[in-house]
């Protein structure tokens, strides 16, 4: 129950009247939200793992957050999770903690890191690619595994040694593919379609 309350609260925080009106009036934005939801569902379905609930997979949330903004990224994540709920073996009982740890918390953290980079680092094209996209995505992947492990340990679902041996270890391996996928995606988009990336401001990142 607590998980559902946290998920509901985080999602409600992402709802903005202006953003909702713009979404309903702009079919292209609706297409973008659904396309990102499908991408989420595809990435999250491709997974590996040794023990139940301890799945290893690419998140993709950093790139989507940079492209759509955190509010629409949360909406895309919700739709993507619902697609998994309907088409795959994801159960209603697992839905809340899956959405929380795989999507909402990483999205909030991704945007928080972007804001920190925007305010405290030089606003440069390569800073945006290598820090906001590449490094931040890798950190988010490692943090997700750490937070998920802490949750399962606090709930006495798995002992810490089991989590360390079978799940935490993969944070060392997963940060690089996560960073590469998100970094390459953002690089291609800001090179060929910079207008699609909501958090990329031409006047600030290119006029140097």
Which DSSP symbol is given to 104?
A: I
Burial 54-90 (b: 16+ CB within 10 A, else e): bbbbbbbbbbbbbbbbbbbbbbbbbbbbebbbeeeeb
pLDDT tens digits, one per residue of 150-201: 999 998 889 999 998 888 887 778 899 999 999 999 999 998 999 899 999 8
Split at pLDDT 50, 70, 90, the class of 50 is confident
User: What mean pLDDT do residues 130-144 have?
Assistant: 95
User: What mean pLDDT do residues 98-105 have?
Assistant: 94
The full set of domains in the chain, from first to last, is: 2-205 (1.10.1760.20)
User: What mean pLDDT do residues 89-114 have?
Assistant: 93
Mean pLDDT (the chain, rounded): 91
- pLDDT above 70: residue 208: no
- Looking up tokens 């997963």 gives 174
**The two structure tokens encoding residue 44:** 């999250």
Percent of the chain whose pLDDT exceeds 90: 66
- pLDDT value of position 206: 73
Are 140 and 112 contacting, i.e. CB atoms less than 8 angstroms apart?
no
The pTM assigned to this predicted structure is 0.94
Q: Residue 182 CB: number of other CB atoms within 10 A?
A: 29
Split at pLDDT 50, 70, 90, the class of 207 is low
Percent of the chain whose pLDDT exceeds 70: 99
pLDDT tens digits, one per residue of 8-38: 999 999 998 888 888 899 898 999 999 999 9
């Amino acid at each position: 129950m607590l998980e559902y309350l946290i998920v509901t609260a985080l999602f409600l925080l992402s709802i903005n009247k202006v953003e909702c009106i713009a979404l309903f009036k702009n079919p292209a934005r609706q297409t973008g939200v659904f396309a990102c939801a499908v991408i989420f569902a595809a990435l999250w379905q491709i997974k590996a793992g040794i023990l139940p609930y301890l799945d290893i997979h690419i998140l993709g949330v950093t790139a989507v957050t940079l492209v759509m903004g955190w509010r629409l990224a949360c909406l895309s994540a919700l739709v993507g999770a619902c697609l998994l709920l309907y088409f795959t073996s994801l159960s209603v009982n697992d839905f809340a903690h899956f959405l929380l740890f795989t999507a909402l918390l990483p999205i909030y953290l991704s945007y928080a890191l972007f804001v920190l980079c925007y305010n405290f680092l030089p606003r440069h094209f390569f800073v945006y690619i290598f820090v906001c996209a590449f490094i931040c995505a890798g950190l988010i992947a490692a943090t997700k595994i750490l937070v998920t492990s802490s949750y399962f340990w606090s709930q006495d679902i798995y002992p810490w040694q089991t989590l360390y041996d079978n799940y935490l270890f993969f944070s060392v391996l997963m940060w690089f593919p996560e960073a590469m996928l998100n970094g390459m995606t953002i690089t291609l988009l800001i090179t060929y379609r910079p207008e699609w990336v909501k958090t990329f401001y031409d006047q600030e990142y290119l006029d140097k």
